[in-house]
């Protein structure tokens, strides 16, 4: 039996800085299609004009671009802004209302996954405990909308962490098929990033140096993982990634039987047009590693 491989996509987050200044939505679609990729990921509040109520004409434009460039919507990023007000945090009911709004919009635009970024209550990024009731309240709507909600596991939070255990317990308790994990490959970063403007000692210590999650940890949660954001920062002209050890990550994803999306999330230097070239290099690198695995006799 020939094993199905990864699916390839790009998050428009990759083009931050270029998008809306030197790159239109159609330009971005053309870039993604030219990679041979099939998936487009967006952030609702960044890439939908008039969010959360885009005009009918824009929705038609969106669907016509998808058809023209043969792209499918993958993941729709949204936020649960728990500290929306200074006086008090969002209630679970308010958070559920925001989530419902995003699920409905995402479904209308053809997305299959919705990633809520949840406000935190501690230095180690514990999500506001309202997340559990808020998500539970919208599971039926997610099911009817054919949407899977997936919070992201993102540096400095590793895979072996109480937050991940809470998410897994939630899946086990509810038995839902509409909540899963999104892995951001920044957790595998094992070399330091260049200095950031405005970085603090805390940021340097907690994640800019890389939290070096062992790629083998992916196997522990693979059954719950529904989407992967292929975070990266710089790939040189010899297709060597300077921070993410893809040569160890890709075989582990393959070994785990992951056949979902690898959705590029470029987060490096924001010089104009640089993101376009960097995303191409990443797709060249990932496809090369996947091909090498397929050719090797020990690969599944």
Partner 1 sequence: MLERTLVQTRGFRNTGPEGARTGFEFLLRLPNYRGMRASLADGVDVTVDGETFAYTANRLVVQGRELTLEQLREATDLRWAIDEPVIVRVAKPGGLAVGVHAIAVGVRIRQPYFPIEFQPSVIHETREATIVL
Question: Is 221 in contact with 187 (CB distance < 8 Å)?
Answer: no
CB of 233 to partner 1, least distance (A): 15
Considering the rule CB under 8 A, would residue 49 count as an interface residue with partner 1?
Answer: yes
Tokens for 205?
């210590």
Residue 199 exposure: Cα atoms within 13 Å on the Cβ side: 15
Considering the rule CB under 8 A, would residue 43 count as an interface residue with partner 1?
Answer: yes
d(Cα 52, Cα 172) in Å, to the nearest integer?
Answer: 32
Q: Which of 55, 172, 202, 247 binds partner 1 (CB under 8 A)?
A: 202
Considering the rule CB under 8 A, would residue 45 count as an interface residue with partner 1?
Answer: yes
Considering the rule CB under 8 A, would residue 182 count as an interface residue with partner 1?
Answer: no
Considering the rule CB under 8 A, would residue 211 count as an interface residue with partner 1?
Answer: no
Considering the rule CB under 8 A, would residue 200 count as an interface residue with partner 1?
Answer: yes
Q: If DSSP codes are grouped into helix, strand and coil, which group holds residue 127?
A: strand
CB of 142 to partner 1, least distance (A): 21
| Known active-site residue 195 | no
Q: Which of 35, 59, 66, 84 binds partner 1 (CB under 8 A)?
A: 84
Residue with smaller CB distance to partner 1, 79 or 170: 79
Compose the 9-38 pattern: x for residues touching partner 1 by CB under 8 A, - for all others: ----x--xx--xxx-x--------------
Antiparallel, parallel or unpaired: β 152-153 and 261-266? unpaired
Question: Is 8 in contact with 37 (CB distance < 8 Å)?
Answer: yes
Sequence-distant (6+) residues with CB within 8 A of 75 are 11, 41, 42, 111, 112, 113, 114, 115, 150, 182, 227, 229, 261, 263
Point out which residues pair with 225 in neighbouring strands: 181
Residue with smaller CB distance to partner 1, 122 or 296: 122
User: Which helix (H) or strand (E) covers residue 229, if one does?
Assistant: strand 225-232
- Window 142 to 171, contacts with partner 1 (CB under 8 A): none
Sequence-distant (6+) residues with CB within 8 A of 159 are 153, 183, 187, 213, 217, 218, 220, 221
CB of 59 to partner 1, least distance (A): 16
Considering the rule CB under 8 A, would residue 129 count as an interface residue with partner 1?
Answer: no
Residues engaged in binding partner 1 (CB under 8 A):
13, 16-17, 20-22, 24, 43, 45-46, 49-51, 77, 79-86, 117-120, 122-123, 125, 198, 200, 202, 272
């Amino acid at each position: 039996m020939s094993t199905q491989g990864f699916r390839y996509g790009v998050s428009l987050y990759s083009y931050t800085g270029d998008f809306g200044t030197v790159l239109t939505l159609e330009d971005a679609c053309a870039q993604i299609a030219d990679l041979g990729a099939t998936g487009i990921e967006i952030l609702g509040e960044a890439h939908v004009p008039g969010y959360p109520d885009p005009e009918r004409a824009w929705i038609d434009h969106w669907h016509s671009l998808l058809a023209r460039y043969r792209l499918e919507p993958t993941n729709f990023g949204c936020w649960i802004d728990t500290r929306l007000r200074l006086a008090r945090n969002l209630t679970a009911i308010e958070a559920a209302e925001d989530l419902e709004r995003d699920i409905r919009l995402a479904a209308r635009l053809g997305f299959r996954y919705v990633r809520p970024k949840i406000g935190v209550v501690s230095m180690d990024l514990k999500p506001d405990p309202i997340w559990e009731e808020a998500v539970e309240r919208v599971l039926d709507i997610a099911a009817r909308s054919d949407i899977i909600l997936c919070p992201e596991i993102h540096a400095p939070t590793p895979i072996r962490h109480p937050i991940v255990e809470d998410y897994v317990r939630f899946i086990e308790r509810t038995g839902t098929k509409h909540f899963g994990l999104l892995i951001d490959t920044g957790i595998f970063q094992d070399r330091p990033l260049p200095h950031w403007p405005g970085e603090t000692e805390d940021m340097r210590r907690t994640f800019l140096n890389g939290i070096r999650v062992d790629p083998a940890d992916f196997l522990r949660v693979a059954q719950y993982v529904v989407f992967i954001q292929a975070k990266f920062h710089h790939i040189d002209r010899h297709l060597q990634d300077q921070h993410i050890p893809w040569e160890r990550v890709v075989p582990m994803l393959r070994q785990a039987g992951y056949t979902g999306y690898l959705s590029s999330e470029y987060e490096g230097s924001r010089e104009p047009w640089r993101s376009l070239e960097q995303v191409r290099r990443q797709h060249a690198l990932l496809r090369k590693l996947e091909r090498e695995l397929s050719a090797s006799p020990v690969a599944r």
